[in-house]
Structure 1
């Protein structure tokens, strides 16, 4: 299998669909490159990403994807002991009590966005681009929780420079990943860096992004105690990380924390808009569960069964990352097959979560599959990974999605501004390049009757 096949699909952003089709054609095990396999079964996920035991060895991260040199961070650190040390430093900022103390930050930014939507709806004739608006929101929240101050994107109604150049930085990282799989690409990149203005711009943006992140970290250190248990409070107090190491952690915390949550929120706009009966059920649950907008909290929304089913279904049908993390076999069994030491392995979550053998009518958006009797056979999903490498921010992400969706549904009715009769399909317009490059998704908002009544009473 040529790595050129992989490179074309990866650079084009079509990797989730290309690999899905390969699994449909060839089965649960697909060779995606020399010495590299993709699995498409639930058991493979448990075998590859589950915690090690006396009976099973740990599958370490693959150097093809994660060897970024120094300074590393909690997402890319390949050494299990160093990874555990980073986790210990970061964990206090993600504990239950910390999330409760941080919740007011989420509400402040969500409320600001709700007001901004009202303003943009009055000034724009073609709706509000929620792909962009939700980026403003989630980056502002994670910026506040990481650097002690927001990027101010929602307030200004435009993306901060740090956010704008982030995607160039991510694209540069994706090229780095390909360079390791296809060494000749490294020579091409050197050549193009000398003569291609666009590639020069990407390299320069990557440099600017690193410099700006370091500046923000230094400013956060100078702030000292912010009286809110943010992500960096324990790290600064410990004194164990250098400024460069803290900048590396900040990059991954903000990127992973903001972009993945934004994907789920934008997906909610699409799937609720294109499934009117689902929208009606969610509106009914939210608008009858709260006497006032102020009653919407992280705890109160956790009690809403249909809302939580909607979120689980969103994470299934359009997962925040659609390329399974790369691992190296330590010489172990995966789904009944012995995989020699050193062979690259991954489980393709997009295929698994859209496999008709596992999920009934997988292309249909059906929150009901997570409720009642149907929940006994609910789909297997793993949007935040498994085992010792699972996402630290899972509870924060769920709370952000619950609160944001609830407040939006309570306050607004909306319709899409796109002409769906011409075939516009938001999910297939998106591209996966390390993270999702979200397509534009415009919606026209009107105040909900319940909100209008509260506002005038």
Structure 2
């Protein structure tokens, strides 16, 4: 067989080289053209922000959902660029001073003018629950659920809440007697999940009794949910993520989030089978969700009741436990503030049994400490993004489809809104006539702090959260002196976040205060 002509072979190689070079040049020109367009000709080109984020969406989303450190980057970005920062080609981060009134507030009665949620962003089928429902469905669901979180309903449910707080106090007291350190993060989570389980399903998760699997899985699900959101946007990154995180870890974490909502739906189905009024006659969340309308027909579908039940469990428990964990860290690292709070609580009640929802509501310094905790350590570290309908915000035209993010840390630590924004100063929340009031904070823009979001879609369970926090904090400080154990001094600094904080253990030593005997 005759050999190939060397000239032909050489020509073929040259043609291939030219083709590869032409393709590479074309790709480079295409990328450069996109970069030039996004930096200088895109509708958001006037919005300030890091250039690399304006060119490519991956850096910001990687930071949000894989590194999970965007919540710490956001305050720095806003301090540098202002109240609106471009963090993606079609993505903005907005300070609360701008977004609360102009994005989250009531704009009009038209669906077309609403900054809407992104369907399926929080979890699959989130449109069946308040957290992701469209405007009309949200209004219908909210009207039905509001009654469950009214002041009168919460007072009706006080006995349910107190029984789990009692059990929590008993469990940590047992450890205090033995001189054991207490990982307060775990015990607070067990308590708030058991409370919300009973209120939502007439059956707790029995976490305080040792059945901790569901609670432990929640946090793996938070991480898995973050990975899922990233991969929905950038599916080609699945293989690199598998190599980075491990294929098994990625699969298990991603599945955990879906499993949590399956458990919630199953418990919701079991509760629905009891009917609107459980056998013991008490009213819980499901009582209100299952009530029929004036026409005798159910207001909420079966899927909506199950979806709402699952969402309420996570949103109504993890966030409260997070705030209480943050409180524990902050109060144990600020001795003078802790003593002031202890004095107020211990002077207000003659006996621990006197600590009630109503009684704790009047403790001014306690309420100030809670507000300052929520400012520095907002349980909802980031909020589900909104999509622009095409509107002007703070003088900037925001095209239809632009995604709006709100990082509570950026708003709450903005030096334009708060004096010494990174300092723990409960005094900034006190009225001028209070003995501990400090006029140094008189100019603080306290109204920009919205830990439970703002507008018609704010958190329906905020009254429950405040109630639980006040009672649990008062019971803890009435009975114990709390000391942070060595090695946890940077507990808050070392955390990541995706919607909620990924918390490590927080170990404390509990000592009965003077005059209190642990029976």
TM-score by length of 2: 0.80
Distance 1:57 1:450, change over 3 A: farther
Distance 2:120 2:141 in 1: 21
Distance 1:106 1:377, change over 3 A: farther
Mean Cα displacement is larger for which, 239-248 or 18-27?
239-248
The alpha-carbon deviation at position 198 of structure 1 amounts to 2.1
Distance 2:78 2:254 in 1: 35
Distance 1:29 1:203, change over 3 A: closer
Distance 1:57 1:392, change over 3 A: same
Aligned residue number for residue 89 of structure 2: 34
Distance 2:261 2:505 in 1: 27
The alpha-carbon deviation at position 104 of structure 1 amounts to 1.3
Is the counterpart of residue 170 in structure 1 residue 222 in structure 2? yes
Question: Which of the residues 398, 401, 407 maps onto 2:475?
Answer: 407
Tell me if structure 2 keeps the 8 A contact 1:130–1:442. yes
**Aligned-residue CA RMSD in angstroms?**
2.5
1:169-188 pair list within 5 angstroms: 169-185=221-237
Aligned residue number for residue 50 of structure 1: 105
Distance 1:347 1:203, change over 3 A: closer
Is the counterpart of residue 61 in structure 1 residue 117 in structure 2? yes
Distance 2:70 2:480 in 1: 35
Distance 1:13 1:121, change over 3 A: farther
Tell me if structure 1 keeps the 8 A contact 2:120–2:126. no
Aligned residue number for residue 425 of structure 2: 366
Distance 1:155 1:451, change over 3 A: farther
Aligned residue number for residue 516 of structure 2: 451
Distance 1:241 1:54 in 2: 22
The alpha-carbon deviation at position 316 of structure 1 amounts to 0.6
Distance 1:112 1:253, change over 3 A: same
Distance 1:295 1:15, change over 3 A: same
Distance 1:372 1:213, change over 3 A: closer
Distance 1:196 1:180, change over 3 A: closer
1:99-248 pair list within 5 angstroms: 99-123=154-178, 125=180, 127-156=181-210, 160-185=212-237, 196-224=247-275, 225-226=277-278, 227-238=281-292, 239-248=298-307
Question: Which of the residues 367, 380, 393 maps onto 1:308?
Answer: 367
TM-score by length of 1: 0.90
The alpha-carbon deviation at position 215 of structure 1 amounts to 2.6
Distance 1:12 1:161 in 2: 26
Question: Which of the residues 50, 56, 74 maps onto 1:19?
Answer: 74
Distance 1:70 1:330, change over 3 A: closer
Aligned residue number for residue 258 of structure 1: 317
Q: Is there any run of 5+ residues in structure 2 with no aligned partner, and where?
A: 1-52, 293-297, 433-438
The alpha-carbon deviation at position 343 of structure 1 amounts to 1.4
Mean Cα displacement is larger for which, 330-339 or 101-110?
330-339
Deviations 1:292-322 (A, max 9, x none): 1121111111111101000111111111112
1:150 is paired with a residue whose SS is coil
Distance 2:498 2:155 in 1: 33
Tell me if structure 2 keeps the 8 A contact 1:264–1:319. yes
The alpha-carbon deviation at position 109 of structure 1 amounts to 0.8
Distance 2:259 2:121 in 1: 23
The alpha-carbon deviation at position 30 of structure 1 amounts to 1.4
Distance 2:220 2:207 in 1: 18
2:86 is paired with a residue whose SS is strand
1:392 is paired with a residue whose SS is coil
2:168 is paired with a residue whose SS is helix
Deviations 1:354-395 (A, max 9, x none): 111211111111110111334753423000011110000011
Q: Work out which of the two has the higher radius of gyration on C-alpha atoms and give 1 or 2.
A: 2
1:356 is paired with a residue whose SS is coil
The alpha-carbon deviation at position 218 of structure 1 amounts to 2.4
1:361 is paired with a residue whose SS is coil
Mean Cα displacement is larger for which, 91-100 or 253-262?
91-100
Distance 2:513 2:369 in 1: 20
Aligned residue number for residue 443 of structure 2: 377
Question: Which of the residues 317, 332, 345 maps onto 2:376?
Answer: 317
The alpha-carbon deviation at position 183 of structure 1 amounts to 4.0
Deviations 1:208-249 (A, max 9, x none): 434432331222123332333211112233344454433321
Tell me if structure 2 keeps the 8 A contact 1:3–1:182. no
The alpha-carbon deviation at position 280 of structure 1 amounts to 0.5
Tell me if structure 2 keeps the 8 A contact 1:410–1:450. no
Distance 2:256 2:129 in 1: 20
The alpha-carbon deviation at position 61 of structure 1 amounts to 1.6
Tell me if structure 2 keeps the 8 A contact 1:15–1:323. no
1:365-444 pair list within 5 angstroms: 365-373=424-432, 374=439, 376-378=442-444, 379=446, 380-419=448-487, 424-444=489-509
Distance 1:242 1:185 in 2: 37
